Amino acid sequence: MSDDSLDKLRCLIEDLDAALLKLLNQRASVSTEIGKLKVKSGLSIYDHRREASIFKYLAEQNQGPLNNQEINRIFSEIISVSRRLQSNIAGNDSGIEMRPATENGTGTLIGHTSVYCILGNPIAHSMSPMMHNAAFRLLDMDAIYVPFEVQDLQGAVAGIKALGIKGASVTHPFKREIFAFIDKIDDTAEKIGAVNTLVYGTEGLRGTNTDWVGAVRCLEALLPIQDHKFVVIGAGGAARAVVFGITSKGGEVVIVNRSEEKGRSLAKEFDCTFVSLSEIESAHGDCLVNTTPIGMYPKEDKMPVPERVLGAFKAVADVIYNPLETMLLRKAEAAGCMVAGGLEMFVFQGGEQFRIWTGKEPPVEFMRNLVLERLTKP
């Protein structure tokens, strides 16, 4: 292509960007007016039905070449900015949860509302309640998801059954401890050695694991798993889900861990090789995956491996999603690697839970944007 035709196309893009900019600002002005009217009339800023109808309308209008998922991704961002503008008028800076926490997808809690929950300790930091409740609201579902800071796990599990709670997420530190209290553990959770999802039905309380689904989605965004080699740092719960995901999709794994005994034992279980963390230089592969908490908020200035080893990898992934970009990922990007953070893993494990519990397609783009918005809020 000649420089001349490239310049012409770039001019066209600039004209289109200018037109888009004007339209976006016009839309923001109209949205602000709507916000003022809502405040005056005492209406809630967040209107899930209206947002759902916008996405439906866009899907009907869309003539491509962008597909509906791509359009949803762009408009989720536009709508989330509008929501924030309206929230500022209302004097609430969250922009997300403008409705009482007791409201479910259909507006009121009633006798047959489906209840879901998360068991963990601590739990206040969890993004799962916001993510699942917003998805219920978006899909107009008569369902609610509640966080429980558990002091007595056996009692909590008995409570799930006694109260007819339909499903639960299980998080730190109970992913393994829960094995002792449930009726059935599926093969995946058994192999991973951790349960992050409970389903209560006629078969009793069944434990499964969706973390590995999230891990696979996150890694596949970087490179195909099959026939590639992954150096996994860590041998805890997250590592087990990651290693299960990689090996079940035909990838090869080298486990690198601080504690040799734990690392070797995991490597033996999944038929992989083991390298001690102090010998990280001798671990070679296509993609490095951090599954340790090193670099997580508030210790964001730490990284699990020395910077000098990063350039040897095509890609680097981190399961940490707070911060969205860890120091490991920043340094890896600077060393020329493709990078992926833990947000995708978190959202897709949650999306898979949503699918298992409700039988519905999870609105993952919408869930992702909410979490992203919350994590990037100053």
d(CA 187, CA 6): 55
Minimum CB separation of residue 356 from ligand NAP in Å reads 16
- The residue among 140 and 260 lying less far from ligand NAP, judged by its C-beta, is 260
One residue of 147, 234, 245, 362 binding ligand NAP per CB under 6 A? 234
Rule CB under 6 A: choose which of 135, 235, 283, 332 binds ligand NAP: 235
Give the number of other CB atoms < 10 A from CB of residue 358: 19
Query: What per-residue string of b and e applies to 66-104 under the rule 16 or more CB within 10 Å gives b?
Result: eeeeebbeebbeebbbbbbbbbebbeeeebbbbbeeebb
Residue 321 near ligand NAP by CB under 6 A: yes
Contact between 175 and 186 under an 8 Å Cβ cutoff? The reply is no
- Closest to ligand NAP by CB, 199 vs 294, is 294
Per CB under 6 A, the list member of 73, 229, 258, 264 interacting with ligand NAP is: 258
Candidates 29, 259, 299, 307; binder of ligand NAP (CB under 6 A) is 259
Q: CA 119, CA 50: separation in Å to the nearest integer?
A: 32
Q: Of the listed pieces 74-82, 113-121, 150-158, 289-297, which binds ligand NAP according to CB under 6 A?
A: 289-297
* 238 near ligand NAP, judged by CB under 6 A: yes
**CB of residue 304 vs ligand NAP: minimum separation in angstroms?**
6
* Minimum CB distance to ligand NAP, residue 244 (Å): 13
Which helix (H) or strand (E) segment holds residue 191: the answer is: helix 187-192
Closest CB to ligand NAP among residues 204, 306: 306
Cα–Cα distance, 159 to 73 (Å, whole number)? 38
Which of 175, 229, 331, 360 is the catalytic position? Answer: 175
Q: Is 69 in the site for ligand NAP (CB under 6 A)?
A: no
In the chain, how long is the greatest CA-to-CA distance? 73
Q: Looking at beta carbons only, is 84 or 132 nearer to ligand NAP?
A: 132
Q: By CB under 6 A, name the one of 236, 248, 325, 374 that touches ligand NAP.
A: 236
Question: Is there binding between residue 293 and ligand NAP (CB under 6 A)?
Answer: yes
Shortest spacing between CB 128 and ligand NAP, in angstroms: 10
- The verdict on 82 binding ligand NAP (CB under 6 A) reads no
Residues 268 to 287 in contact with ligand NAP, rule: CB under 6 A: 277
Task: Give dist(CA 335, CA 199) in Å, integer.
Answer: 43
* Among positions 216, 319, 328, 340, the unique one binding ligand NAP when judged by CB under 6 A: 319
Tell me: does residue 262 bind ligand NAP (CB under 6 A).
yes
Instruction: Assess 178 for contact with ligand NAP (CB under 6 A).
Output: no
Six-digit token string for 156: 């909590």
Determine if 87 is a binding residue for ligand NAP (CB under 6 A): no
Closest residue by Cα to residue 103 from 71, 68, 136: 136
Rounded Cα distance between 343 and 348, Å, is 9
Nearest to 111 by CA among 50, 163, 182, 58: 163
CA distance 79 to 17: 19
C-beta closer to ligand NAP: residue 103 or 300: 300
Please choose, from the candidates 195, 165, 169, the residue with its C-alpha nearest in 3D space to the C-alpha of residue 182: 195
One of 133, 169, 247, 292 touching ligand NAP (CB under 6 A): 292
Task: Confirm if 270 and 244 have CB atoms less than 8 A apart.
Answer: yes
Side chain identity at 310, as an amino acid letter?
Answer: L
Closest CB to ligand NAP belongs to which residue? 236
d(CA 54, CA 71): 11
175 as an active site residue: the answer is yes
Estimate the share of the chain in helix, then strand, then coil, as percent rounded to the nearest 5.
50, 15, 35
Q: Is 247 in the site for ligand NAP (CB under 6 A)?
A: no
Considering only 89, 144, 296, 310, the residue that binds ligand NAP (CB under 6 A) is: 296
Return residues touching ligand NAP (CB under 6 A).
172, 211, 214, 234-239, 257-259, 262, 277, 291-294, 296, 319-321, 342, 345-346, 349
**Residues annotated as catalytic (active site), given as ranges:** 175
